[in-house]
Structure 1
Amino acid sequence: MASLAGCLTGEEESENTLEVLHGWTGGDGAEAADALFSAFEEEHSDVDLNNKPIGGGGNENLDQTVSTRLNSGDPPSAFAGWPGSNLEQYDGVLGDIQSDVWEEAGLEDAHVEEAVEACQFDDGYSAVPIGSHRMNDLFYNVGVLEDAGVDPESLDDVDALIDALGTIESETDATPLAMSLEAWAILQTWTVVMLSTQGYDAYMSFIEGDGDESAVRDTFETLEELLSNYINDDAASVGFTEVNQDIMSGDAAFIHEGNWVAGAYINEDLEYGEEWDAIRYPGTEDMYGLHIDSFIYPGDNPSPEATATFLRFAGGETAQVAFNQYKGSIPTRSDVSTEEFNDYLTETIEDFEAASEKPPTLAHGLAVDQSTQSSLEDVLNNNFADPFDVDAATAGFMDAI
């Protein structure tokens, strides 16, 4: 029998080829992506899948590739990206999948309100959520803290954390706080420090353009104390995956990251509670720092039917379990069983439901548009990546927002 491809015209073959771009190439992401796309191929063997991973920290290479493809009139079928304000940069080039995906698959009732709202764009829907990361975790190596005599549960504010970092520095050979000085990494740490020291309302006022300069300055002063005294010497030249290796090896005590780093611990079979653990960043115990990953639908789509099939799948339970259990994230569906998730992720799901506040991430497209985020990162690159200029950084942040 002739193959299906041999029976199709070039145009028909192209329409049946699903090209998905994403940035999950290592660490927490590669195994999660493999699980997701393998599950899709198992259910939809009739679709010719061409999944293209594009590496690079903070999705920078992926974003550039997507931008080039969209601007040249050569869109992929779908691409991984952040929803919310991040979608504004694609105004005029996204399609509406409200009818073919959201309504047909019943996604509005299945997903949490925050994810539904984030995927809405231009009076319709242009994205489907695949999972959510929590942005206010402080991960740690259990053995290092035990050697230093630090009780993580006693850390109820940033002053207590700073005291603990000093103790770790004096009592062990480990780096107290593992850190990369990439601009996006500083921005996400600035966010959690502001939430911790200034509170939810001050943070929300800031991202809405009505921030208090003294609150911004206080946040930078606290962050300067942390970054000037307690981070690794090579912070300016390493990425977060490298410094996270120091947590796993016992060469560092704490790291603040989204819980994609938990995906790395899970995939390395490290024992939760025995080798690694996490607390909420001191002062944010009742919050869930909200981050959402999604797949975005370009207009003028090269494979509309195959793409709709994939996006309906991505919003379903099978995909959300397959992906998130390895990614260190949680499903945005509210009806997913926790049976396949480890204790840490099960607790994260419970915390999402119980959180009193869910501040949107500033460093990953939910809180501000891409242009504003880039301006904030430029301020940090120019003024707060060692040396740390509090005055210039404060003025820059106020101007950017």
Structure 2
Amino acid sequence: MVDNDKHGDGIDRRTYLGGLAAAAAAGTAGCLGGGGDDSDGGGGGGGSSQALEVLHGWTGGDGSDAVDALTEAFNEAYPDLDSNIKAVGGQGNVELNTTVLRRLTNANPMGSFANWPGKNLERYRGSLMDHEDVWEEAGYKESMQDRVVELCTFNDKMPAVPIGSHRMNNLFYNTAAFEEAGIDPANLESVPDFVDALETIGSETDYTPFAHGMQAPFLGLQTWAQILTSQSGVEAYENFIAGDGDRAAVIDALETLQEIQENYITEDASSIGYTQAAQKLIADEAACIHGGNWLYGMFRADDEFNFGEEWDWVPFPGTEGLYFYHVDAFVTPSNNPTPEKTRTWQEFVGTKEAQIAFNNLKGSVPLRTDIDPSELSDFLAMTYEDLTSSDAYPPTIAHGLAVEPEAMNACKSAIGNNFMGPYDAEAAADGLLEAVSGGSS
């Protein structure tokens, strides 16, 4: 028996408009842009003959390959279950979130949709289905990491099942660039070490020191979070997302980000995103890039750009022992048009088969604790070990886990309005601190 959320038939208009505001600034990573279908088809109503409709935002590259593998595995497991698993295209999660919010507001839900769990679920309050029975019967509360069980619990319900995790605090580097500059990445233990390395690369080689996209403000926000953590410690970051940030530490991290953006990035950085920035490593034009390990999903698609040979990685300098936590999941709306088919899908998403098929291509790692690392690629096996054995797991601020959607939107606005050139560290700091303290409400 599947219990629908008792709070009503759809999201109220205030929640919807607030969600749209958050969605407008949520052009975030882990969901590649590119074509896709943004139609409103599928709709509420319908009985057992209606196809299961699943929406996601993985419309190109590693994401498209991963969801295709997941779809193929699901169809093989349930060949008689009619399904329509489709992309809502472009600009990260922006179009997906807008479509989902619009349809839920119009009482026209889909069966399931890809999204982030945790505080991000606040945007769907009152319109989520409970899958406590799936978690219990499939044993997922025992086989999933405790922290992801907590993130998938919302409003005393369990409306989400996780599909994979990206680690955020990665510094990927082009090995030839670092060798030419005479830099041992293992010696980058702090942000000053990192900035010194960028200076050396800039003066001693023809490589752009740091590949960085500034097309969307989340890119600066996620890098600023790493700098803050490195310079002032993980407690400073956790205090910040809890609404008790140290203004001086926030400004220090912003000023370091400004130094990097003014001196060590490409001239076209303001007009590109992380996809184009990462391509500069593959093309031997840039030395390193910060980002989630979805970048590995991009690198692995190039047969001539190989892990341990043409590229490698280290934790972002000063964040050794941390796993900055990012999670993708599938979420289910209430008044579900295909409740039993949706239940079947959600249960499948949590299986070993589904998590291995999806994550090996996406560049993410399963959330289950019983995965044999030999079934993952070398890089992901190493990441999976880090997922299970790191010292701390701070949640990502730019991808829905650390703060609620309205605060995340306001943080991106603080960066977008004050820190994408010209730079105003004090105004950006005030905007960030106000956002997480609830002052943006």
Structure 2 length-normalised TM: 0.87
Q: Which amino acid aligns with 1:281?
A: F
Match of 2:315 among 280, 285, 307: 280
Contact 1:179–1:243 (8 Å) recurs in 2: yes
Partner of 1:244: 278
> Once the 2 structures are TM-superposed, how far is the Cα of residue 11 of structure 1 from its aligned partner?
3.3
Contact 1:132–1:290 (8 Å) recurs in 2: yes
Distance 2:257 2:132 in 1: 42
Partner of 2:173: 140
Secondary structure at the aligned position of 2:290 is classed as: strand
Partner of 1:125: 158
**Are 1:180 and 2:209 matched, yes or no?**
no
Q: Which amino acid aligns with 2:429?
A: T
Distance 1:233 1:66 in 2: 36
Secondary structure at the aligned position of 1:225 is classed as: helix
Q: Which amino acid aligns with 2:52?
A: L
Partner of 2:59: 25
Distance 1:69 1:14 in 2: 21
Q: Which amino acid aligns with 1:345?
A: L
CA-based RMSD: 1.2
Contact 2:48–2:338 (8 Å) recurs in 1: no
> Once the 2 structures are TM-superposed, how far is the Cα of residue 392 of structure 1 from its aligned partner?
0.6
**Are 1:94 and 2:105 matched, yes or no?**
no
**Are 1:375 and 2:413 matched, yes or no?**
no
> Once the 2 structures are TM-superposed, how far is the Cα of residue 56 of structure 1 from its aligned partner?
2.5
User: Bigger CA drift: 351-360 or 294-303?
Assistant: 351-360
Q: Which segments of structure 1 move beyond 3 Å, counting only runs of 4 or more?
A: 10-15
Secondary structure at the aligned position of 1:125 is classed as: coil
Match of 1:79 among 109, 113, 116: 113
Partner of 1:106: 139
Distance 2:49 2:327 in 1: 30
Distance 1:14 1:373 in 2: 40
Distance 1:298 1:267 in 2: 34
Structure 2 gaps of 5+ residues are 1-44, 437-441
Contact 2:220–2:415 (8 Å) recurs in 1: yes
Contact 2:352–2:368 (8 Å) recurs in 1: yes
Distance 1:66 1:304 in 2: 17
Distance 1:268 1:345 in 2: 17
Match of 1:149 among 156, 162, 182: 182
1:44-59 maps to which residues of 2 (within 5 A)?
44-59=78-93
> Once the 2 structures are TM-superposed, how far is the Cα of residue 27 of structure 1 from its aligned partner?
2.5
Structure 1 length-normalised TM: 0.95
Partner of 2:392: 357
Distance 2:236 2:209 in 1: 28
Deviations 1:111-136 (A, max 9, x none): 00111000001112010000000000
Structure 1 gaps of 5+ residues are 1-9
Q: Percentage identity across aligned positions?
A: 48
Distance 2:200 2:431 in 1: 34
> Once the 2 structures are TM-superposed, how far is the Cα of residue 174 of structure 1 from its aligned partner?
1.7
> Once the 2 structures are TM-superposed, how far is the Cα of residue 14 of structure 1 from its aligned partner?
4.7
**Are 1:313 and 2:348 matched, yes or no?**
yes
> Once the 2 structures are TM-superposed, how far is the Cα of residue 188 of structure 1 from its aligned partner?
0.7
> Once the 2 structures are TM-superposed, how far is the Cα of residue 81 of structure 1 from its aligned partner?
0.4
User: Bigger CA drift: 341-350 or 360-369?
Assistant: 341-350
Q: Which amino acid aligns with 1:95?
A: M
User: Bigger CA drift: 388-397 or 261-270?
Assistant: 261-270
Contact 1:27–1:241 (8 Å) recurs in 2: no
Match of 2:194 among 141, 161, 165: 161
